[in-house]
Amino acid sequence: MGNHRAFVKIDEKFLLGDIILSIPKEFFIFALLESEVLSARVVERMGQLYKAGYMLAINDIFLTKETMGKYQTIFAYISHIKIRLDKNISVGIEEMIKTLKAKDVKVVAAKIETSKEYVIARTLGCQYFQGYFFAEPKIVENAKYEPGRVNILKLYNLLMDDVSIDEITKEFENNYEITLQLLQFINSGAFHFRKKISSIHHILTLMGRVPLGKWLMLMIYSKSVSKDGTRSPLMLLVKNRTELMENIFKTIYPNAGSNMLGEAYFVGVLSLIDTIFGEKLERILEDMHISQEVKEALLEDKGTLGEIYALVRAIEAFDTQAIANYEERHGLEANMLKDVVLESMKRVTEFENPSIAAE
C-alpha cells in the first residue's frame, strides 16, 4: 500500500476481539459493517480504539435521518463514513453531510458508477469517491492516441520484430523524452544494477528485447516520472496485475519458461491499456505484436492465461468463492495463493518506494 491506508471491513466479533490489537493501526481504517448493531459494548470499544489511535469508519450506509440517529453516539470516534447514492437520495442529505463534515467526519461517496452520480456526489458535498466509474475503463469512441504513447507502441513493436540493435537504438534516440523516462526507470532502485546505465544500447545488451519491451509497456501508464519517484495509482494497479499474473503462473507451472511467463506479464500490462488510449481493447491489440493466446485471454478469459487473468480480477474484488474454486480446481495447498498475493504486494510496494527495496 506504500504510504496509503486501506479500508478494512469489520464486524462486531472482530471489533470486540483481541486480534485487532495486533494489527498495525497506522496502515488501516477499520470500517464497521452497516448491518452491525451499535450495542453499548460496541460503542465503548470504538471509544477505546479511538483513544488508542485507531482510525474507524462506517461502511456503505444510506444516509437518512434514521442512520444519522443510529450513529450519533460514535461520530466523535470515526474518521470516515461511506455513503451510497444508488437509490433515492434522502430529503435533507446535503445538510446531513454538512453536519458530518462539521464533526470532522470525512464523507466518502461509494459505488459511483457513472459521471452523473459523480457530479451529484460532488454537488452534495462528498469529499472522497470510489466506484466503477473510476476503476473500470471509460471508453471514448473515436478517441485519438496520445502521440507519445503511440511512439511507445511503435518502439515495442520494433523490439519484438527482427530489427538490429543499432536501428532500435536510433529510433529510441529520436524519442528523447521516452528514452529519458526509460533510463530513469532502469536506474531506479527496482533493478539493483551495480552501475548506472547511460544508453539504450547498454540496456538492450544487459536486459534483452523481451524484458525491455515489458518495462516499456509499463511506461505507457505514466506520462512522466516525478523527481521523487512517485508512481500513478493506475500504474501501481497494472504493476500489481503483472506481478500476480507471473507469480500465479509460476505457482501452477513451476517449470514454465521465460516465454510463457512473458505472456502472463503481457496479459497483466495490457489489461488496462484501453483506459490510457480511450480506445476499445480489440482495436489496440490489432496494432501489437502479441500472441493469439494473450489476445484470447484478455478478450475472452480463454485458456490458461485467461483463467489466471479472471482469478486476478477475483482477487482484486475480494471474491473469496472464485478464489477457493480456483484453488480446488488446481489442487493448491491452503494459503498458497495468499502467499503469492502478499509477495506481489511487497514487490509493488518496493516499486512505488525504491528506498524500501534498497534497505
Sketch the domain layout of the chain as residue ranges: 6-135, 147-229, 233-355
Q: Quick one: pLDDT at residue 135? A: 65
pLDDT of 358 higher than 60: no
Contacts of residue 246, Cβ cutoff 8 Å, sequence gap at least 6: 261, 264, 265, 268
Residue 77 has pLDDT above 70, yes or no: yes
pLDDT at 200: 72
Q: Are 49 and 18 in contact (CB under 8 A)?
A: no
Least confident of 1-5, 47-51, 68-72, 259-263: 1-5
Which candidate, 34, 351, 290, places its Cα nearest to that of 156? Answer: 290
Residue 354 binned pLDDT confidence (cut-offs 50, 70, 90): low
> Running DSSP on this structure, what letter comes out for residue 230?
-
* pLDDT for residue 234: 77
Q: What is the pLDDT of residue 355?
A: 58
For the ranges 96-110, 140-154, 287-301, 317-331, which has the lowest average pLDDT? 140-154
Cβ atoms of 300 and 306 closer than 8 Å: yes
Percentage of the residues of the chain whose pLDDT score is greater than 70: 85
Contact 221, 232 (CB under 8 A): yes
Mean pLDDT of the 257-264 span: 83
Q: What is the pLDDT of residue 224?
A: 37
Average pLDDT of the residues of the chain = 82
Q: What is the structure's pLDDT at 140?
A: 40
DSSP calls for 63-84? --HHHHHHTGGGGGGEEEEEEE
* CA–CA separation, 291 and 210 (whole Å): 13
339, pLDDT greater than 80? yes
pLDDT at 23: 82
| Residues paired with residue 56 on neighbouring β-strands, in sequence order | 30, 78
Q: Is the pLDDT of residue 59 over 50?
A: yes
- Segment 135-144 mean pLDDT: 47
What pTM was computed for the model?
Answer: 0.56
Position with higher pLDDT, 144 vs 324: 324
> Predicted confidence band at 145 (pLDDT cuts at 50, 70, 90)?
very low
Least reliable range by pLDDT among 34-48, 146-160, 235-249, 316-330:
146-160
pLDDT class of 114 with cuts at 50, 70, 90:
confident
Per residue in 236-250, pLDDT tens?
Answer: 888 899 999 999 999
For domain 6-135, give the CATH number. Answer: 3.20.20.450
What percent of the chain lies above the pLDDT cut of 90? 34
Per-residue pLDDT reduced to its tens digit, 175-193:
777 777 777 766 665 556 6
Q: What's the mean pLDDT in 111-129?
A: 90
58 and 81 Cβ atoms separated by less than 8 Å: yes
Q: How far is CA 135 from CA 112, 240, 283, in A?
A: 10, 14, 21
Q: Please tell me the predicted confidence (pLDDT) of residue 136.
A: 60
What would the DSSP string read from start to end of 163-181?
A: --HHHHHHHHHT-HHHHHH
